Amino acid sequence: MAFGRGNKGGSSGGGGGESTSSSSTIVDNDPTSWIINNELANFVLMNTNEIKYMCMIGYTFLHGCKVFKKIDGNSSNEKKKFSAYKLITMILACTGGGILVPIFLNTIPVTIAIDAYPIAILQSRSVVSHLSAITNALMVVFYETIRTYVVTLFVGLAASTIAPSQFSFPVFGPIICGTIGGCGGAFLPFDKGLAPIKDGLPPPVFTAFTGATFFHLFTHYTKNGNDTGIPFVDDVLDQLQIDAPKKGKVIVALWFILYTFYLNGIFSAMASAPIPPPPVLKVVAASTKGASTKTASVKTEKKKRK
């Protein structure tokens, strides 16, 4: 039986002033509250419906770009037309993990449970193949924000659904569900088999696995106050106990976004974007041209006088 670190944000005592400590005092004493008390965290946590719908459209839009570009690259003329084949393929790519994991956990797939997904997919059916670096970066942020939501959602759902077996908590089940939730669309329809990973582990699978593993272990050892056996890690987790799931989501979202930026070369593309010349140079060039014209006219006038 493992001994926990306990919840250091409050006390279990009876009367007195200790029982009247408010949650605001706990937050004020949280040295890591800056992780979630900023606008970036507010965005990646999707604290408003407007942000959620915007990210959902960006998520389906980027999936549509990938699916349509791949289909249009085939030699078949039938697949090059916008058809039910493209639409269904796009739906499976967008919601593949949201279909498979709920089936594993005996719940309703997201394509049936959430009406916003079909609406966002239909709105994103007209896609653009080539995007500028800044626009592509924006789409990546939307896309990875939704993927963070899906991965962390299914990790938490599986952790609360699957009963512990050999360990004091379910270890591999939530990680597998979170990984499939973040990349399950790559394996649908099922006639693909294991072809998506035949030539190596694709980046979406790698990031989904690492993100699900981190979030599952992070929330378990912070929320439940369990010891890891590593003093330094336990000290850090003690400081992260308050709002641990939200902090974990922010960290996973940053990992997804920055890794995708690196793979797609967005950092180098934005850094190497041409800088327009300052307007001062044009003014100087114009004034120089005017001065030379004036000098030529003076010489012509002197010749006429002679």
Binned average pLDDT, 10 residues per bin, the chain of 306 residues: 44 43 55 90 91 88 80 56 73 86 88 83 62 75 92 94 90 93 80 78 90 94 75 82 91 93 76 55 48 54 56
291 located within any domain? no
pLDDT at 24: 45
123 located within any domain? yes
pLDDT at 149: 94
Q: What is the number of domains present in the chain?
A: 1
Two tokens, residue 232: 């330094």
6 located within any domain? no
Q: Cis peptide before 102, with omega less than 30 degrees from 0? A: no
Maximum pairwise Cα distance, the chain: 113
pLDDT at 28: 61
How far does Cα 95 stand from its chain's mean position? 15
299 located within any domain? no
19 located within any domain? no
Tokens 């990680």 label which residue?
175
How far apart, in whole angstroms, are the C-alpha atoms of residue 187 and residue 198?
Answer: 12
Angle at which helix 231-239 crosses helix 203-223, to 10 degrees, equals: 80
277 located within any domain? no
pLDDT at 21: 44
Domain limits for position 73: 31-271
How far apart, in whole angstroms, are the C-alpha atoms of residue 174 and residue 213?
Answer: 8
293 located within any domain? no
289 located within any domain? no
